[in-house]
Structure 1
Amino acid sequence: MIAHLKHPSISPEEYLAGEEKSQIRHEYIDGQVYAMSGGSDSHNTIAGNLFAQMRGHVRGGRCRVFMENMKAYIPALNYYYPDVMVTCDDRDRSSSHSKSHPCLIVEVLSDSTEAFDRGDKFADYRQLESLQEYVLINQKRHQVECFRRNEEGRWVLYSYNQNESIQLASLDFQISMEALYEDVDFTVSDAANGLSQQSAEP
């Protein structure tokens, strides 16, 4: 979880310089640096299944799919590491370490980060004018929530449950629940994936 203890704030430039040399990933939130802990078996399997299906779908086109190690940059705000992110914007090709114009962002939920993913992080992501869909995937049961921006700029929730196919309009892409959760064992209890605040010098 995110610790309440605060360290002296650092600049985005200091964060980026430190992140290039760091052996572990950190997210940058309101001037504070947070270490990313390792994900559970289910978390990584779900993200990997989605990435593999999406990578095949966009292959040869202008869209690029990234998994876990690519930062999403919210200008003048924060840097996050989405579990899966897609950008089809040519402006993102000029940056090799972060993307500022994604059309789709996906987070696999865990106990320690769910409230943040639904709250402040989603509020930050909504600042991205290019973002069309924000997807939250439950790793404990067959449940996917897709928040889609409509023509009026409002976010509409589309929920998907067991035996349904998830439709992602931003990529004209669909994936079945069976394929998304392939090899996921819901009977295994894994340590929750989360964030822990580290020194302001990453």
Structure 2
Amino acid sequence: MTAQPQEKDKMTPAEYLALERGSLDVKHEFFDGYLFAMVGAGRRHNRINVNLAGELRNKFKADNSAFNLFSNDMRVKIDQNYVYPDIVIYCGDAQFEDDEFDTLTNPVVIMEILSDSTEAFDRGKKFAYYQAIPTLQEYILVSQHEYFIEQFTRKNSGKWEYGSYKGTNQVLKMESVPCELPLSEIYWDIEFESF
């Protein structure tokens, strides 16, 4: 999805959560005291999201894995900030901020499907925020415009290592989750525009 800044004075995380939990129409991400409305995603973004969630669920279920996932609507807490990743994978029991069970605190993998309007933020400042999550081991960016996936993996040293996969014959090999996903499945039923 795409985030758009909202005109409003700064608010506290508690004010944000109260507002967000009462909002039925629009989801908001929250960074440094400011709201950013999440606007709808297009067909290609939605198809990639469904493909990813379906493939991951099937693999986790078939392997009787300790891993599980949420898609789109699970809020994730980063210090005093809140986001809605496209896909979030956790291990074991999901841990939540409070008894509302709507804000995950222990993601292992976060996947973002890049949108033209948010790509720079997803690659830059948002990734910097994500790095503050102690449980996060992988950050994966998925292009909507070609068979192309970028993977950032946290190493034991704390440094992040970059890898990329391009083309229909490539297989995304996740390091923190015992899972391999062929790009042909991630991009199933997607038509790319030719230039």
Fold agreement, TM-score > 0.5: yes
- Give the direction of change, closer, same or farther, for the CA distance of 1:91–1:2 in structure 2 (3 Å limit): closer
Gap runs ≥5 in structure 2: none
Structure richer in strand, relative to its length: 2
Q: Does 1:175 align with 2:150?
A: no
| Paired residue secondary structure (1:47) | helix
Trace 1:1-202 onto structure 2 (pairs within 5 A).
Answer: 6-22=7-23, 23-59=25-61, 60-75=64-79, 77-90=80-93, 92=95, 95=98, 96-162=101-167, 163-187=169-193
Aligned partner of 1:192 in structure 2 is: none
Question: Do 1:89 and 1:101's aligned partners in 2 also have CA atoms closer than 8 Å?
Answer: no
Residues 169/104 of structure 1: CA separation in 2 closer, same or farther (3 Å cut): same
SS of the aligned residue for 1:92 comes to coil
Percent identity for Structure 1 against Structure 2? 35
**Superposition RMSD on alpha carbons, in Å?**
1.9
Q: Report the 3-state secondary structure (helix = DSSP H, G, I; strand = E; otherwise coil) of the residue aligned with 2:153.
A: strand
Deviations 1:145-187 (A, max 9, x none): 0000112111000100101101011111011111000011112
1:8 touches 1:32 (CA, 8 Å); kept in 2?
yes
After superposition, the Cα gap between the structure-2 partners of 1:125 and 1:141, relative to the gap in structure 1 and judged at 3 Å, is same
Deviation at 1:94, TM superposition (A): 7.1
Q: How many residues align?
A: 187
Tell me the CA shift for residue 4 of structure 1.
6.9
Q: Which has the higher contact order (CA 8 A, sep 6+)?
A: 1
CA contact (8 A) 1:47 1:83 kept: yes
Deviations for 1:27-52, whole angstroms, at most 9, x for unmatched residues? 11111111100011111111110111
Q: Determine the C-alpha separation between the residues in 2 that align with 1:126 and 1:58.
A: 25
Structure 1 residues 3 and 39: CA distance shift in structure 2, 3 A: closer
Report the alpha carbon displacement of residue 55 of structure 1 after superposing the two structures with TM. Answer: 1.0
Q: 1:20 to 1:4 in 2, by over 3 A?
A: closer
TM-score (norm 2): 0.89
Gaps of 5+ in 1: 189-202
Once the 2 structures are TM-superposed, how far is the Cα of residue 16 of structure 1 from its aligned partner? 1.1
Code of the residue aligned with 1:131 in structure 2: it is L
